[in-house]
Structure 1
Amino acid sequence: MSALLYLSNNNVYLFDENKTITVPFQSIDQYKKNLVEIQQRKDWKTKGTGAQFMGMRSQEDEADLNHIFPTDMILTSDQKLIYSACLQDGVSINIKSLDNLQETEGLILRKNDFVVQDMAYDESKRRLALSVNTDHYERHICILPLDANRTQYLTEGECQDSNPCFDPRDTMQLYYDSCGLGIGEHRIAFSPKEICHLDMGTGELETIASDPKFDFFKPKMDGLGNLYFIKRPYMRDGYTNSPVTTFKDIIFAPFKIIRAIVGWLDFFTQRYTGESLKTTSGNNPAKSQQKSEEELFVEGNLIKSQQNLERNQKLGEKYPGTIPNSWELIKMTPSGEMTTLKKGVMSFALNGDSIFYSNGKYLIEMDANLNEKSLVEAKLISKIVC
Structure 2
Amino acid sequence: MSSLLYLSNQALYQLQNQQSQSIDCHAVSQYKKNLQEIKQRKQWKTTGTGAQFMGLRNYDDPDELAHIFPVDAVLTNEQQIIYAARLQDGCAIYIKSLAALEQPESLVLRNNEFIVHHLDYDTQNQRLILSASKGYAFERHLCVLGLDSSRIQYITEGDCQDEHPCFDPENPNVVYYDSCGFAYDHQGNVSIGPKEICRLDLKTGELETIASDPRYDFYKPKVGKNGQLYYLKRPYQGQNYSGSSIKDILMAPFKILRAIFGWLDFFTQRYTGESLKSTSGANPAKARQKSEEELFVEGNLIKAQKTLQQNQNAGEKFAGVIPRNWELVQQSASGEQKVLKKGVLSYALGADDSVYYSNGKYLVSINADQTEQMLVEAKLIHKIMC
TM-score between both structures, scaled by the size of structure 1? 0.85
Contact 2:356-2:365 at 8 Å conserved across structures: yes
Alignment partner, residue 190 of structure 2: 188
Counterpart for residue 348 of structure 1: 347
Runs of 4+ more than 4 Å apart: 283-286
Residues 287-342 of structure 1 deviation map (CA, whole Å, 9 limit, x = unaligned): 48725x71111122111111110001111111101000000000001111110000
Distance 2:381 2:99 in 1: 23
User: How far apart are 1:369 and its partner, in Å?
Assistant: 3.0
Is 2:108 aligned against 1:108?
yes
1:205 maps to which residue?
A: 207
- Structure 2 contact 215–236 (Cα < 8 Å) conserved: yes
Q: Superposition pairs for residues 39-54 of structure 1, below 5 Å?
A: 39-53=39-53
Task: Give SS of 1:40's match.
Answer: helix
* 1:127 alignment counterpart: 127
1:155 corresponding residue in structure 2: 156
Q: Deviations over 1:327-368 (max 9, x none)?
A: 000000111111000000000001120110001111011023
Percent of paired sites with the same residue: 52
User: Residues of 2 paired with 1:56 and 1:289: CA distance?
Assistant: 35
Conserved 8 A contact 1:8-1:382: yes
**2:304 is aligned with 1:312:** no
What residue in structure 1 maps to residue 117 of structure 2?
Answer: 117
Mark the runs of 5 or more structure 2 residues left unpaired by the alignment: 252-279
Select which of 201, 216, 223 maps to 1:214: 216
Cα offset, 1:61, TM superposition: 2.8
Cα displacement (A) at 1:197: 0.5
Partner amino acid, structure 1, of 2:204: T
2:258 aligned residue:
none
Shift of 1:370: 2.0
1-side partners of 2:14 and 2:365: how far apart?
15
* Contact 1:91/1:110, CA 8 A, preserved across alignment: yes
Alignment of 1:229-268 (within 5 A): 229-235=231-237
Task: Check if 1:20 corresponds to 2:11.
Answer: no
Could you tell me how far apart the structure 2 residues matched to 1:26 and 1:306 are? 36
Shift of 1:382: 0.3
> Are the structure 2 counterparts of residues 87 and 288 from structure 1 closer, same or farther at C-alpha, using a change threshold of 3 Å?
closer
- Amino acid aligned to 2:200: L
Whole-Å separation in 2 of the counterparts to 1:47 and 1:106: 40
Secondary structure in structure 2 of the residue aligned to 1:44: helix
Asked if 1 retains the 8 angstrom alpha-carbon contact of 2:358 and 2:380, the reply is yes
Change (3 A) 1:207 1:146: same
Contact 2:47/2:57 (<8 A) preserved: yes
Q: Which whole-Å CA distance do the structure 1 matches of 2:285 and 2:12 have between them?
A: 36
Cα distance in 1 between the residues matched to 2:81 and 2:288? 42
- Secondary structure (helix, strand or coil) at the match of 1:161 reads strand
Separation in 1, partners of 2:180, 2:138: 11
Figure out how many residues of one structure are paired with residues of the other and give that number. Answer: 346
Q: Distance in 2 between matches of 1:78 and 1:316?
A: 41
Q: How well do the aligned residues superpose, as a CA RMSD in angstroms?
A: 2.3
Q: Could you tell me how far apart the structure 1 residues matched to 2:96 and 2:337 are?
A: 38
- Tell whether the 8 Å contact from 1:219 to 1:228 is kept in structure 2 after alignment: yes
Residues 322 and 150 (structure 1), Cα distance of their counterparts in 2 relative to 1, 3 Å cut = same
Task: Give the residue type in structure 2 aligned to 1:212.
Answer: P
The runs of 5 or more residues in structure 1 that have no matched partner are 237-259, 270-279
State the shift of 1:28 in Å.
1.2
State the AA in 2 paired with 1:296. L
For 1:138, what is the secondary structure of its paired residue?
A: coil
3-state DSSP class of the match of 2:311? Answer: helix
One-letter amino acid of the counterpart of residue 333, structure 1:
S
**In the alignment, is the contact (CA less than 8 A) between 2:43 and 2:58 conserved in 1?**
no
Q: CA deviation at 1:284?
A: 8.8
Question: Partners of 1:339 and 1:109 in 2: how far apart?
Answer: 39
Cα distance per residue 1:251-306 (max 9 Å; x no partner): xxxxxxxxx9xxx99xx99xxxxxxxxxx814599848725x71111122111111
SS of the residue 1:224 aligns to: helix
Task: State the distance in 1 between where 2:14 and 2:310 align.
Answer: 30
Which amino acid counterpart does residue 322 of structure 2 have in structure 1?
I
C-alpha separation in 1, matches of 2:180 and 2:91: 23
1:257 match: none
Cα distance in 2 for residues equivalent to 1:288 and 1:144: 43
Of 61-70 and 28-37, deviating more is 61-70
Contact conserved, 1:39 with 1:62, CA < 8 A, in 2?
A: no
1:51 to 1:350, Cα distance in 2 relative to 1, 3 A? same
- Which residue of 2 is the match for residue 245 of structure 1? none
TM-score of the two chains, using structure 2 as the length reference: 0.85
